[in-house]
């Protein structure tokens, strides 16, 4: 149910206290006024009530008096009372008690109190009386109307360019859309297709200000991934799954992917390559940033993250190393981690928006079983240590970028053979170390320089063998699909054989 219908229903059902967390105060009040179909009073701490027939000085700088005004208002005159920034006063015992008393009385009269604030802060003693209603970011239709208003005949946009401009504005508040489009008009005198870049810069800044999400430019391609043929084939088959043709065919939107495996095996690289290949914006979620010190703020941040991701849809939401944040939900945090996890899990199960979640985990054994059951993700892939053939491909990818003109000078077969148990990240680091050697000697680096760096490296697979073996056994038990062609116990035996030969 959309915001307008839900708010109308709550008002008609006489829900006494509604909390709307939103930074778009002006737009929210305009929407409330259009929906309420009754007198709307607005109050704030500085100006009090600004309404015809109300003393301009009444309840100014006095939140308790603002509630008294609601209590004394005529019961036979339907009204909505919007209290701005009222979250700052909810910890006051007198304000809290008055709100609870009002909630009991307003259930029987056509009066509704709406708390409108930029963030969600609800004390425990008011949790049962307050109903939270999320105010969505502007739709494409609202943004298009704003573009039409700002154009006023000053445009060099074609139809497709205007559509791209509107899409680029998704995820921004209407006020921010006005600012960035106004800036473009003031600078160039009109709007043009090139202004999309200006909007994307503004969007990146806005998303970073949330301190929850990062807007990543996805430049990595599928071809930058060495090995992982099963995973790449799976991704390529779903390349058009977000298109209109897929909807007409009856396909649902892809839900997401869980990549489980050993550190440095290309899980993060894969997430970036997915966004690039599917031509979707990439949002990186640091799950740890969802947690905050104030009561209720962690849950509010989680809802804000979901709102932004859905406003930017279709997009890829990259949640890196979720095992570090959701791996232990029994800690002493008053249940905050469990509530955040529950909100995230419910959204993943029920979401209908085209947000493709790519989650990675190094230690899947720490994850709650409800996260990895069927239905949360389209598929779970296990990313193991690369085989000898995959290591050759990984060396080829890295050296092809660095020395494309001289790639044949490097013995890829030997390099792959001499690096059993090496991950992709460790291979890359060995090449970097060889480059330092060559640079210091004022010559190009060679195969022998790389092998020297390899000899000085102890891979993680040897220092954390027990943990890695446990992960491989978990995957071999059929808990996940192998990301590589060579999978399961056969792959593990192959790697052990390579390791013994290399020793």
Same domain? 377 vs 395 = no
Does residue 52 lie in a domain region?
A: yes
Same domain? 366 vs 289 = yes
Does residue 12 lie in a domain region?
A: yes
Query: What is the arrangement of strands in the sheet containing 256-261, beginning at the earlier edge strand?
Result: 213-216, 282-285, 315-319, 355-361, 256-261, 379-383, 481-482
Does residue 182 lie in a domain region?
A: yes
pLDDT number for residue 489:
41
Gap between the Cα atoms of 406 and 354, Å rounded:
43
Q: Is 54 exposed, middle or buried (0-12, 13-18, 19+ CB in 10 A)?
A: middle
pLDDT number for residue 237:
87
Does residue 499 lie in a domain region?
A: no
Query: In which residue are the tokens 């008294």 written?
Result: 68
Does residue 485 lie in a domain region?
A: no
Q: Read off the CATH number of the domain in which 344 is found.
A: 3.40.50.300
Q: Crossing angle, helix 25-36 and helix 3-12, to 10 degrees?
A: 50
Same domain? 149 vs 56 = no
C-alpha gyration radius of the chain: 28
Query: Domain boundary at 352, 383, 414, which?
Result: 383
Distances (CA, A) of 132 to 83, 115, 254, 270, 345: 14, 9, 29, 37, 19
Q: Could you tell me the two tokens for 248? A: 């007409």
Same domain? 152 vs 235 = no
Gap between the Cα atoms of 94 and 117, Å rounded:
20
CB-facing half-sphere around the CA of 130: CA atoms within 13 A: 22
CB-facing half-sphere around the CA of 51: CA atoms within 13 A: 18
Query: In which residue are the tokens 């999978």 written?
Result: 487
- Give just the sign of the alpha carbon dihedral 489, 493, 499, 502: negative
Q: Read off the CATH number of the domain in which 405 is found.
A: 1.10.8.60
pLDDT number for residue 494:
44
Q: Read off the CATH number of the domain in which 163 is found.
A: 1.10.8
Same domain? 252 vs 359 = yes
Same domain? 359 vs 248 = yes
Query: Domain boundary at 132, 164, 184, which?
Result: 132
Please list the helix, strand and coil fractions of the chain in percent, rounded to the nearest 5, in that order: 55, 15, 35
Does residue 126 lie in a domain region?
A: yes
Same domain? 91 vs 147 = no
Same domain? 204 vs 232 = no
Helix (H) or strand (E) holding 113: strand 111-117
* DSSP class per residue in 12-74: HTT-SEEEEE-S-HHHHHHHHHHHH-SEEEEEETTTEE--TTS-TTTTTT-HHHHHHHHHHS-
pLDDT number for residue 165:
76
Does residue 118 lie in a domain region?
A: yes
Same domain? 311 vs 451 = no
Same domain? 398 vs 453 = yes
DSSP class of residue 139 equals: P
pLDDT number for residue 82:
96
pLDDT number for residue 331:
52
Query: Domain boundary at 328, 358, 383, which?
Result: 383
Same domain? 146 vs 255 = no
Phi, psi of 319, rounded to the nearest 5 degrees: -105, 105
Helix (H, G, I), strand (E, B) or coil at 84: strand
Gap between the Cα atoms of 254 and 352, Å rounded:
10
Same domain? 354 vs 402 = no
Name the domain count of the chain: 4
pLDDT number for residue 296:
63
Mean pLDDT of successive 10-residue stretches along the chain, which has 503 residues: 88 95 91 92 92 82 94 92 95 94 93 92 89 87 81 64 76 81 74 68 72 78 86 86 84 90 85 85 83 68 83 85 74 67 86 89 84 84 91 92 90 94 92 94 94 92 86 86 67 47 48
Does residue 216 lie in a domain region?
A: no
Q: Are 392 and 413 in contact (CB under 8 A)?
A: yes
Range of the domain at 120: 3-132
Gap between the Cα atoms of 473 and 479, Å rounded:
9
pLDDT number for residue 409:
92
């Amino acid at each position: 149910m959309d915001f307008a219908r839900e708010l109308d229903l709550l008002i008609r059902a006489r829900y006494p206290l509604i909390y709307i967390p939103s930074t778009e105060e002006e737009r929210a009040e305009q929407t409330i006024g259009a929906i309420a179909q009754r007198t709307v009073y607005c109050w704030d701490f500085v100006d009090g009530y600004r309404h015809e027939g109300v003393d301009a000085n009444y309840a100014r700088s006095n939140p308790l008096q603002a509630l008294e005004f609601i209590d004394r208002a005529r019961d036979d005159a339907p009204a909505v009372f919007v209290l701005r920034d009222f979250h700052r006063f909810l910890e006051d015992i007198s304000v809290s008690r008055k709100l609870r008393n009002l909630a009991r009385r307003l259930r029987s009269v056509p009066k509704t109190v709406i708390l409108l604030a930029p963030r969600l802060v609800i004390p425990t003693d008011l949790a049962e009386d307050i109903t939270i209603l999320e105010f969505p970011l502007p739709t494409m239709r609202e943004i298009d109307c704003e573009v039409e208003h700002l154009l006023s005949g000053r445009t060099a946009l074609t139809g497709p360019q205007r559509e791209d401009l509107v899409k680029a504005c998704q995820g921004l508040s209407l006020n921010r859309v006005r600012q960035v489009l106004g800036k473009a008009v003031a600078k160039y005198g009109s709007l043009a297709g090139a202004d999309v870049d200006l909007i994307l810069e503004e969007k990146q800044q806005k998303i970073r200000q949330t301190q929850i999400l990062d807007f990543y430019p996805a430049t990595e391609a599928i071809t930058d991934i060495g090995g992982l043929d099963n995973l790449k084939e799976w991704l390529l088959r779903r390349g058009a799954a977000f298109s209109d043709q897929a909807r007409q065919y009856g396909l649902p939107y892809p839900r997401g992917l869980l990549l489980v495996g050993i550190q440095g095996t290309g899980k993060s690289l894969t997430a970036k390559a997915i966004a690039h290949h599917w031509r979707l914006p990439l949002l990186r979620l640091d799950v740890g940033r969802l947690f905050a010190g104030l009561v209720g703020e962690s849950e509010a941040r989680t809802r804000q993250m979901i709102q932004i991701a859905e406003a930017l849809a279709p997009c890829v939401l990259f949640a890196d190393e979720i095992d570090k944040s959701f791996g232990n939900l029994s800690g002493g945090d008053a249940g905050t981690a469990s509530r955040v996890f529950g909100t995230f899990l419910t959204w993943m199960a029920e979401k209908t928006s085209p947000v493709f979640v790519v989650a990675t985990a190094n230690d899947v054994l720490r994850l709650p079983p409800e996260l990895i059951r069927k239905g949360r993700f389209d598929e779970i892939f296990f990313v193991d240590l690369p085989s000898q053939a995959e290591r050759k491909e990984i060396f080829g990818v890295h050296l092809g970028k660095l020395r494309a003109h001289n790639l044949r000078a490097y013995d890829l077969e030997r390099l792959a053979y001499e690096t059993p148990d090496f991950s992709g990240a460790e291979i890359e680091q060995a090449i970097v170390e060889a480059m330092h050697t060559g640079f210091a000697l004022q010559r190009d680096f060679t195969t022998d320089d790389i092998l020297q760096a390899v000899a000085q490296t102890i891979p993680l697979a040897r220092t954390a063998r027990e943990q890695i073996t446990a992960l491989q056994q978990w995957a071999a038990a059929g808990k996940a699909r192998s990301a590589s062609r060579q999978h399961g116990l056969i792959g593990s035996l192959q790697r052990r054989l390579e390791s013994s030969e290399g020793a």
